[in-house]
Amino acid sequence: MLTSRSIERAGPSGEDTRRHPESWYAATAPQPPAANALRESVITEYCVVGGGFAGLGAALRLAQSGKEVRLIEAGPIGWGASGRNGGQVHIGWNKEQPWLEKHLGKPAAHAMWDIALAARANLDTLLALDPDHCEFRPGHIHADHKRGFVAETRAHVAHMREEYGYDALRAVDGDEIRTLVASANYHGGSVDAGGGHLHPLKLALGMARAAVAAGAKLHPHSPCLSIERDSKAWRITTPQGAIRAHKVLMATGGYAKGLLGEVDAHVLPINNYIATTAPLDPARAAALIAGNRAVSDSRFVVYYFRVTSDHRLLFGGGESYSYAMPADIAGFVRPHMLRIFPQLHDAAIDHAWGGTLAITPQRLPYVREVQPNLWACNGFSGVGVVLAPYLGAALGEAMAGIESAAFESLRRLPAPRFPGGPLLRWPTMVAALSFFALRDRL
């Protein structure tokens, strides 16, 4: 259980929860909706812990269904991964459809693809909640950094078009990729017209405003210190208040280690880093990526990048496997950025930040009723911008007793624990991830 001292002053990553971490998003986001920390003891029907995409998706859907719901968040709304990610709109799961077919069978794989498309359609509805449409720009490029991967990508594209009828996706050869991304690093890839990029903190705040308008009560700066069950309800304690709730959703991402053993066994945190250059000359910025699309590549520790609305390159690259973040994040990300775009050697870095994402052993979300009336929705494994708001909403429906096909599919997914038990699961995972990360450098 987290102690009030550790969580009141800083997140588990040691970061200050009183404000959003310094980032280009925090510098360009609108004010959050007016909301106060919890300073009383209250009884409510539904409580959501965690104010990221998953928790906000659930609170919004519950409130829209006329339910009484309170959401508590340790920091400001969108403080976690949802307010500081790469903003890449990627359709699908961390595992590609052929992997899902092999491990779950074709009918379940098709059901998963249908959920991914429904999640993408849901995102369009959520974008409309923000006056700028969260700065959404269409188009997502997958870039292969090894020549040997190009044939695999071509086969994948053909499979998606034939098996799933997904013709927004097309393959790209070596000549074309160099016209799309101004880098000698890539040999081919694919373009998905259905993907894109957006400003994730605007999305989180738009969802928060809509949830409040629908009747949800949001309490930022209200960390859950403990959750316990008595004979009638769940009791959640915060530093200055308490909530008794009949039904609780834990949507705490990679930030709640030690709060609930069942979630800890299935979800582990990884830190990942992003930097933005100072604004570039608009023509120079536009020349980096054709059509202002988003790009992510084939590395195990993925490089992902895009140009912002004010003509900066936003570049994500590099991760670490401890809560502590590097002291000089700009210096950590810069060599990765220059590996892809050496022509930016003279560009200053204006903002640099890290975030914690939650992964599961199979890189598929962990969506479960873990104990009676206690749900978890977590482990989006790096692809939560599209999926987390939708699966949060699906959880909201399941909690409210509304039939949710998405929840039914997801709760049936195999959910292995990380091997090694509480003491060894962390070092075991670090060893495995470090091995794969090393292969990127070969």
Ligand X SMILES: Cc1cc2nc3c(=O)[nH]c(=O)nc-3n(C[C@H](O)[C@H](O)[C@H](O)COP(=O)(O)OP(=O)(O)OC[C@H]3O[C@@H](n4cnc5c(N)ncnc54)[C@H](O)[C@@H]3O)c2cc1C
Which residues make up the interface to ligand X (CB under 6 A)? 2, 7, 11, 49-55, 72-75, 79-82, 85-88, 90, 223-224, 251-253, 255-256, 259, 272, 274, 304, 316, 355-357, 378, 380, 382-385, 388
Report whether 6 contacts 259 (CB < 8 A).
no
DSSP annotation of 184 reads: T
Closer residue to ligand X in complex, CB, 188/254: 254
Closer residue to ligand X in complex, CB, 127/385: 385
Q: Which residues lie below 8 Å from residue 290, measured CB to CB, with a gap of 6+?
A: 179, 180, 181
Could you tell me how many residues make up the chain? 442
Round to whole Å and give the CA distance between 80 and 55.
Answer: 11
Closest separation between CB of residue 13 and ligand X, Å?
A: 10
3-state secondary structure of 229: strand
Report whether 65 contacts 396 (CB < 8 A).
yes
What is the end-to-end Cα distance of the chain in Å, rounded? 41
Closer residue to ligand X in complex, CB, 88/122: 88
Closer residue to ligand X in complex, CB, 78/188: 78
In the structure encoding, which two tokens stand for residue 111, read together?
Answer: 């059901």
Round to whole Å and give the CA distance between 246 and 42.
Answer: 12
Closer residue to ligand X in complex, CB, 105/198: 198
Closer residue to ligand X in complex, CB, 32/355: 355
Closest separation between CB of residue 162 and ligand X, Å?
A: 26
Closer residue to ligand X in complex, CB, 162/169: 169
- Angle between helix 150-164 and helix 97-104 axes, rounded to 10 deg: 70
3-state secondary structure of 400: coil
In the structure encoding, which two tokens stand for residue 283, read together?
Answer: 């023509």
Closer residue to ligand X in complex, CB, 175/397: 397
Closest separation between CB of residue 38 and ligand X, Å?
A: 10
Q: How many CB atoms lie within 10 A of CB 316?
A: 24
Q: What are phi and psi of 170, to 5 degrees?
A: -140, 155
Closest separation between CB of residue 11 and ligand X, Å?
A: 6
Report CA dihedral (107, 113, 115, 120) to the nearest 10 degrees: -170
Closest separation between CB of residue 224 and ligand X, Å?
A: 4
Pairing of β 374-378 and β 366-371? antiparallel
Closest separation between CB of residue 233 and ligand X, Å?
A: 18
Closest separation between CB of residue 30 and ligand X, Å?
A: 18
Closest separation between CB of residue 121 and ligand X, Å?
A: 16
Q: What is the residue type of 74?
A: A
Of all residues in the shown chain, the one whose CB is closest to ligand X is 384
Closest separation between CB of residue 321 and ligand X, Å?
A: 13
Half-sphere exposure of 185 (CA within 13 A, CB side): 23
Closer residue to ligand X in complex, CB, 315/418: 315
Report whether 44 contacts 16 (CB < 8 A).
no
Containing 432, the helix (H) or strand (E) segment is helix 421-440
Closest separation between CB of residue 316 and ligand X, Å?
A: 6
Closer residue to ligand X in complex, CB, 54/233: 54
In the structure encoding, which two tokens stand for residue 82, read together?
Answer: 């949802």
